[in-house]
Structure 1
């Protein structure tokens, strides 16, 4: 069985949840004898400034509805595929079609890009529809996103989600037949060499603090978290690791009202080994997001034995189960009480550490591999 995978997000600096998802899929394939066929873009790492002639050439390239790709040692490569598809979608409101002399058995798009592989089954993972349900949390053009998602809802052979909450959102919003959408979740794992590196890397931040990691943006509720930390009176630091996203600068304005702003540490970036060390040494990982499709930081913290504070409802509660301290994250008072409780209650911290590790086992790589393999076999055999 040979399954195609796009590389639309895997090469992006800083890493994303979608990039982690795609990489995990590739790992899962090799574990069960499935051959991943990566769809590469020969311009993905092109760093020269985009000249006017280059833009003109891209525009004319995007006018072609079909793009032929060539085989490589680990899949296929096409010329400027992803950017050309983006331009075609924005200009002509239609996706490009991919063709190859020897295509994979099935193409799994790890993100709803405006592309489709001609002549074989196409699967797409839709991670969330937050911009459609909560446009106040995103600067994503909603009309464009709606058009792309509607295309996939109409044309995909199957749709995959990573949480039941998102599955129900899709079925309801786009009025889809339930059997077309499969919830296959996501796996969390840490490679042995990564764990070893985390033991020797320099610590990026103080230990025993309240840690948030991810993009600093409006839907992550960082402003309310900062307020709650200040009101709690805790002596433990609040560490925020991540770059600024939509509304992030406004969220950080809460620092102006923090009684001891020097206890809030902001790191725009740190290496993956350093992040693993930071998670392991934290008193608690805080993830009070207002809207999520999954919540990978919840599981990563649990797998590493670190207690988690996260939000009631939707995907965050679904992923955390009863193994996290759940709060109404729309309430600064509730967040304050949660931080205060986790600040002092050692017994609760030990309980959450243990239950979190147990919860993370349900998202281990082995059961995930079996779900994916069975899903592909059912789709290919009809």
Structure 2
């Protein structure tokens, strides 16, 4: 059976540091490719050179401009975007040496780009009250959007992944624009050809809160597909790497990884760890994405979190007991270590050597308490 060409968005793939949704997207493209489906990936990278083909277009893809889109450019594009936008193909054919970025790349047959696509689509929704329509030559028959965004592929069946409805269920725990998020997911609920989600809790929320028929939502759960080279790597070699880099023993630490924000419940995890008196170290891998660092304040006896430590050290502050390493923070009150970011291969090593991985998410726990559906919530 010949599978249709499928387009997957590169919204999270383009972020400089990996996210869970970026991993989800890479896995999706790899599985589609393994099944024999032709795969297009659509990015929204801002061009630094303005090139629309050739070497500079490939250079832009691997080194996009960081300049913000200007207001006058948004206004100019809004004048014509009512009729949709066209993507151009990026010739990623090896002229740029990108071996070091291989772990961040999806599987693809073709790559397309519309500059600032995902940022601009939100302006398009506000002004024109409709999703931004994208087209490109010889398009895919199915478009899979891995995050709720107001974009659709012209002439294709459009499938959207809604990972959760945390901004609506726990509005105090996210920084999302709640009105905008509600507008986007409500439109997806109405117009999407199908919706994918990753847990029974999320599926129930999509059905109950957005009024979507159950047969229009499929729970695929979160797939895990790690490169065999990382999974089968010699255990002693992996343990040696973790010991040399972080001074941690094999199976001698607990691990949390993910963004540090209220919905991840990191503050309560730290509180429980400190109260337990456990001597086994706790390692937290994740960047702060919240407006403050309240979740980390328990880590220092004076209530000073590591962000404040950074600021004081940069100003030449005194009185701090230990020098600050911007990627690695140890706190004196307990055996707690925070690492802001790890490349994917090092994160896999950290997981393999952990005594246990901890994930005290508020979302599934609150759903269980409110609905008594604990047996259907993901573990």
Question: Is the TM-score greater than 0.5?
Answer: yes
Does the residue aligned with 2:76 lie in a helix, a strand or coil?
Answer: helix
2:335 equivalent in structure 1: 263
CA distance in 2, matches of 1:132, 1:5: 26
Which moved further from structure 2: 61-70 or 230-239? 61-70
1:11 to 1:236, Cα distance in 2 relative to 1, 3 A:
same
1:319 equivalent in structure 2: 378
1:25 to 1:210, Cα distance in 2 relative to 1, 3 A:
same
1:60 equivalent in structure 2: 76
Aligned equivalent of 2:32, options 29, 34, 37: 29
CA distance in 1, matches of 2:6, 2:352: 35
CA distance in 1, matches of 2:345, 2:376: 27
1:155 to 1:241, Cα distance in 2 relative to 1, 3 A:
same
Higher helix share: 1
CA distance in 2, matches of 1:218, 1:56: 36
1:337 equivalent in structure 2: none
Does the residue aligned with 2:22 lie in a helix, a strand or coil?
Answer: helix
**Once the two structures are superposed, what CA deviation does each residue of 1:99-135 show, in whole Å capped at 9, x if it has no partner?**
2342111111111111111222111111000010110
Question: 1:234 Cα shift?
Answer: 1.3
1:32 to 1:221, Cα distance in 2 relative to 1, 3 A:
same
Aligned equivalent of 2:212, options 159, 176, 188: 176
CA distance in 1, matches of 2:346, 2:364: 25
Aligned equivalent of 2:346, options 243, 254, 274: 274
Does the residue aligned with 2:204 lie in a helix, a strand or coil?
Answer: helix
Structure 2: tracts of 5 or more residues without a match: 47-60, 91-108, 304-330, 366-370
Question: 1:280 Cα shift?
Answer: 1.6
1:314 to 1:93, Cα distance in 2 relative to 1, 3 A:
farther
Aligned equivalent of 2:192, options 133, 156, 160: 156
1:47 equivalent in structure 2: 65
CA distance in 2, matches of 1:162, 1:108: 14
2:269 equivalent in structure 1: 225
1:70 equivalent in structure 2: 88
CA distance in 1, matches of 2:147, 2:208: 20
CA distance in 2, matches of 1:78, 1:22: 18
CA distance in 2, matches of 1:18, 1:270: 16
1:144 to 1:277, Cα distance in 2 relative to 1, 3 A:
same
Instruction: For 1:190-229, list aligned pairs within 5 A.
Output: 190-195=226-231, 196=233, 199=237, 202-203=241-242, 204-205=245-246, 206-207=248-249, 208-229=252-273
Contact 1:216–1:248 (8 Å) recurs in 2: no
Aligned equivalent of 2:202, options 138, 157, 166: 166
1:352 equivalent in structure 2: none
2:293 equivalent in structure 1: 249
Structure 1: tracts of 5 or more residues without a match: 294-311, 321-382
Contact 1:230–1:260 (8 Å) recurs in 2: no
CA distance in 1, matches of 2:75, 2:374: 39
Aligned equivalent of 1:106, options 142, 145, 151: 142
CA RMSD across the alignment: 2.7
Question: 1:176 Cα shift?
Answer: 1.6
Does the residue aligned with 1:108 lie in a helix, a strand or coil?
Answer: strand
Aligned equivalent of 2:163, options 123, 127, 146: 127
Question: 1:292 Cα shift?
Answer: 5.2
Does the residue aligned with 1:94 lie in a helix, a strand or coil?
Answer: coil
1:230 to 1:116, Cα distance in 2 relative to 1, 3 A:
same
Question: 1:46 Cα shift?
Answer: 2.5
Q: How many residues align?
A: 300
**Taking structure 2 as the reference length, what is the TM-score of the superposition?**
0.72
CA distance in 1, matches of 2:260, 2:32: 32
**Once the two structures are superposed, what CA deviation does each residue of 1:142-174 show, in whole Å capped at 9, x if it has no partner?**
111000001111110111111121111000001
CA distance in 1, matches of 2:222, 2:289: 24
CA distance in 1, matches of 2:39, 2:17: 23
1:235 to 1:31, Cα distance in 2 relative to 1, 3 A:
same
**Taking structure 1 as the reference length, what is the TM-score of the superposition?**
0.72
Which moved further from structure 2: 190-199 or 31-40? 190-199
CA distance in 2, matches of 1:103, 1:255: 52
Contact 1:226–1:254 (8 Å) recurs in 2: yes
Contact 1:132–1:142 (8 Å) recurs in 2: yes
Contact 1:107–1:120 (8 Å) recurs in 2: yes
Does the residue aligned with 1:234 lie in a helix, a strand or coil?
Answer: coil
Aligned equivalent of 1:9, options 9, 12, 24: 12
